[in-house]
Chain A
Amino acid sequence: MSSTPATTSAPPVRISAGWYVAALIIYVVIAYFTKTVLLNWVMGPLFLLLTLYIIPTAAAAGLRKLKTRTSR
């Protein structure tokens, strides 16, 4: 059997296009009304990470904590 190089076993990350569109709409609406809050070189590039990873992850962790507390 020929030895093939090990590849990352996990399948590539899949994020639905709908999430990107939703994040873009939120970004444009907030940016339009606030201007400098999001239309800058710090918050702008980080917005996608914030909305599609950090906030959902933190929310899920918070919910898990809440569930374990209420189940006790």
Chain B
Amino acid sequence: MSWAAHEFELYFIQKHVGTKASFLAVVIGTQLPDTFTKTFVYAADDPAAFHRGWPGVGFSHSLLFGVAFAVAVLAITKSRSWALGLLIGHWAHILTDFADTAGVMLFFPFSTEPVTISMWKHAAVEGRYGDAAAYYSSLGGVWDFFWLLMTLVFAWKTLTPSYFREVVVPADPRVWGWLHRTFRLPERGLLLLYQGLLFYGVGRMIAWFLYARFDAQTPFEPFWGGPGYVEGNDISDSGWVEVLIRTGIGAILFVAFMWLCWRAFGRRLWERGYDVPAAVRGPGLHAIFELPSSKRRTPTKDTEPV
């Protein structure tokens, strides 16, 4: 599993989706695979198999789970930016997680074969603290740092107040507006909430890294498949040819199923959905501070007293 990388990639995704997807939806999407399952993972007899396998809750780390959730949200809310955001966020999470030894069942239920590149060991068997120490003693910690650098080098603009004002809020004026009105948060508060996820990622990366070095004192082994002191948590005994064939069949069936769903109801749902119109989005923060339901409306020419 990845730790802080899930927070850093949010801003990298945001840079590419702009106003097409809601940032808050991407956030929920990235947390979706672990939200209902992570609490039970550390208590399971075989954490890796429970977390990523079948039988278990491994289906939450499949492409289809994200699609099903996004379709349900699109059907209920009709919001394309939320459906798209959830889907992108969810897929980003599982495509990040396939780097550990447990892997992810990408094409579940068409293939229950975990796909993995075994870059670092899935160490949930060590408990939460042991898992953190193992992760930040392996290439997993380097992976987090890589995503932090990617964000700071290529997506730094997404962290600026002006980007938040001109892109992030207008992409989802309803929810930011709701946060503004319900919690009485001004622009400064909303901006800090938005930047808070990167802050959390950096903070947890440093704190757990320090814990691994000074408290747990685990050896730092950033090599492929490390750390060496943790037993492997592969949940499949299949050879790479078998994995390749099963995954290939799963991929073909998944694509065919997606095409059928698109033809049967997906396209209809998408066409029935809506994008936030530019008229509602308005220029930047007007999107939320001047919605009809907002009390803070500035006088226009027509309403100005003579």
Asked whether A23 and B199 contact (CB < 8 A) given A13-B161, A35-B129, A49-B193, the answer is yes
- Chain A's interface size range is 20 to 34
* Contact call B211/A35, Cβ cutoff below 8 A: yes
* Contact call B31/A13, Cβ cutoff below 8 A: no
Interface-central residue, B200, B204, B210, by most chain A CB under 10 Å: B200
In the bound complex, CA of A20 to CA of B191 (Å): 13
What string of 1s and 0s marks CB contacts (under 8 Å) between B20-59 and chain A? 0000000000010000000000000000000000000000
In the complex, chain B residues whose CB is within 8 Å of the CB of A54: 189
In the bound complex, CA of A68 to CA of B63 (Å): 60
Asked whether A44 and B203 contact (CB < 8 A) given A7-B283, A8-B283, A10-B187, the answer is yes
Consensus secondary structure, chain B interface: helix
Q: Does residue A1 face the partner (Cβ distance < 8 Å to B)?
A: no
**Smallest CB separation, B6 vs chain A (Å):** 10
**Smallest CB separation, B30 vs chain A (Å):** 11
Q: Does residue B202 face the partner (Cβ distance < 8 Å to A)?
A: yes
- B160, B161, B165, B192: the one within 8 Å of A49 (CB): B192
Chain B positions within 8 Å of A, measured between CB atoms, are 31, 129, 160-162, 165, 185, 187-189, 191-193, 195-197, 199-200, 202-204, 206-208, 210-211, 283-286, 289, 298
